[in-house]
Copies of this chain bind each other. A is one copy, B any other.
Amino acid sequence: MELTTDFYLGDCKEQLKFLPDNSVDLIVTSPPYADQRKNTYGGIHTDKYVEWFLPISEQLLRVLKPTGTFVLNIKEKVVEGERSIYVMELILEMRKQGWLWTEEFIWHKKNCYPGKWPNRFRDAWERLLQFNKDKKFNMYQEEVMVPMGDWAKSRLKNLSNTDKIRDNSKVGSGFGKNISNWLDRDKAYPTNVLHLATECNNKNHSAAFPEELPEWFIKLFTKKYDTVLDPFMGSGTTLTVANRMIRNSIGIEIMPEYFEMVKKQFNTIELTLFEPTVEYAKTKSERRYTVR
């Protein structure tokens, strides 16, 4: 079967209009947070954030299949000693648009940013908001089951086991052979708390989130040849993972540098590992590129 990866250059509010209704199985994205990433994205002011995001979420609601899921990675920052409230306001407004706020996962960032302040500790978590169009949506829980030996053993083994699991999960298609023995014994369903470290040593680009993050949700909410969308593609983490996991993917990016970088990266993969790349512009969007 054919696997496609489509790129759109431009503001996702506009580019999303080229996508047909009910065509996406999973949206995983991490938009620029309010007043952050100023150097790359200009930064959206806290007071304007909801207003800015709602037209986008409206399009996302349109393109998502009724059985699909939207996972939004976001966190409010501190303004004058208080947490901002724009994320809460966004959830409330998106519900009015017709979204169901199904669940809130916690991403526990094991290596959070250091620092010390007189009235505050380091922020070690972010929100992973799950939205749906319908109460009935596709969920493949067995795909993300985690090995659970007896508690005593896993506690004694400490971090070594979790590291193995994490390393192996990067393969994407399953777990490694070397530890499959004790993995097969008993598996448990995970919880709504994800413990992941940020990847901080990439030379070429800084990814918004570690590959494990989109990988986990792609496993959970899609099957092979489903379509994954990231309207804030950035360095392309979501698309890279989707492609590796044999999911069709669509990425939209407003910054030409990022867009070119990801496109080049995908072209290279195609050229070296698979068949020759076909790159062309569609009539619907002049800046659409497709890698097949």
A residues contacting B by CB (< 8 A) are 80-83, 85, 88-89, 91-92, 95, 100-104, 106, 108, 112, 116, 118-125, 135-137, 139, 141, 189-193
Contact = CB atoms under 8 A, between A and B. Distances in A.
Contact of A137 (B91, B119, B122, B190): B119
Nearest to A85: B92
A191 B112 contact: yes
A48 B266 CA distance: 53
A16 B110 CA distance: 40
23 contacts: A81-B100, A82-B100, A82-B101, A82-B102, A88-B91, A89-B92, A102-B120, A103-B121, A106-B125, A112-B191, A116-B141, A116-B189, A118-B139, A119-B135, A119-B136, A119-B139, A121-B141, A121-B191, A122-B192, A124-B191, A125-B191, A125-B192, A125-B193
A120 B118 CA distance: 38
Contacts of A139: 118-119
A176 to B, nearest CB: 20
Per assembly, the copies of the chain total 2
A25 to B, nearest CB: 15
Nearest to A131: B82
B83 A189 contact: no
Contacts of A85: 91-92, 95, 101
9 A-B pairs closest in CB distance: A124-B191, A81-B135, A88-B88, A124-B193, A122-B191, A121-B192, A82-B100, A106-B125, A125-B193
A68 B213 CA distance: 38
Nearest to A144: B121
A137 B193 CA distance: 30
A119 to B, nearest CB: 5
A123 B192 contact: yes
Contacts of A191: 112, 121-125
Given A119-B139, A124-B193, 18 more contacts: A82-B101, A82-B135, A83-B101, A83-B103, A83-B104, A88-B88, A88-B92, A102-B120, A103-B120, A103-B121, A108-B193, A112-B191, A116-B141, A122-B189, A122-B191, A122-B192, A123-B192, A125-B193
Contacts of A104: 83
* Listed residue (A80, A83, A116) with the most chain B CB atoms within 10 angstroms of its CB: A83
Contacts of A123: 191-192
Contacts of A193: 108, 124-125
A104 B137 CA distance: 30
A141 to B, nearest CB: 7
A39 B224 CA distance: 47
Contact of A102 (B83, B122, B124): B83
A46 B247 CA distance: 40
Contacts of A189: 116, 121-122
